[in-house]
Structure 1
Amino acid sequence: MSLAFANLGETKVIVDFTGKEDVKRHLQDMGFVKGESVKLLSENESGMILLVKGVRVAINKGLASKIMVA
């Protein structure tokens, strides 16, 4: 499932990415790598605040939809 559909407070594990190579590389540069845990801290209609590797990261839902989690 896509990270964009995660519920508030849930912790998920990244399993894959979709999209073009430059988008995947951008996500990896921000700390989103396969096998890493991601926790949804907050969200609104335009974006999400996530906890990745102990750092809070804000992304829009379009980018979150490119991150596949389990």
Structure 2
Amino acid sequence: MSLAMVSLGETRRISEFTGKEDLKRHLQDLGFVKGEEVKVVGENPSGMILLVKGVRIALNRGLASKILVA
């Protein structure tokens, strides 16, 4: 399932990334690492606010759809 489909308040674990290598590297630089837990703490029609490694990060749904979670 893609991270963009996760509901508000849910916590999931990152399992994989899709997309080009630059995009994967960018997401990893932001803290989105395989095996890391991600919690959805806020959302609106254009994006989501995520809690990763104790840091809140806003991500648009296009980028969130490139992160697969279990």
Q: Please indicate the TM-score interval, normalised by the length of the shorter structure.
A: over 0.9
Q: Which amino acid aligns with 1:30?
A: L
Number of equivalences: 70
In the alignment, which residue of structure 2 is the partner of 1:27?
Answer: 27
Q: Which runs of 5+ in 1 are unaligned?
A: none
The match for 1:53 is: 53
The unaligned stretches of length 5 or more in structure 2 are: none
Alpha-carbon displacement from aligned partner over 1:39-62 (angstroms, at most 9, x marks no partner): 000000100000000000001000
**Structure 1 length normalisation: TM-score?**
0.99
Alpha-carbon RMSD: 0.3
Runs (4 or more) in structure 1 with deviation over 2 Å come to none
Aligned pairs for 1:35-46 within 5 A? 35-46=35-46
Residue number in structure 2 paired with 1:63: 63
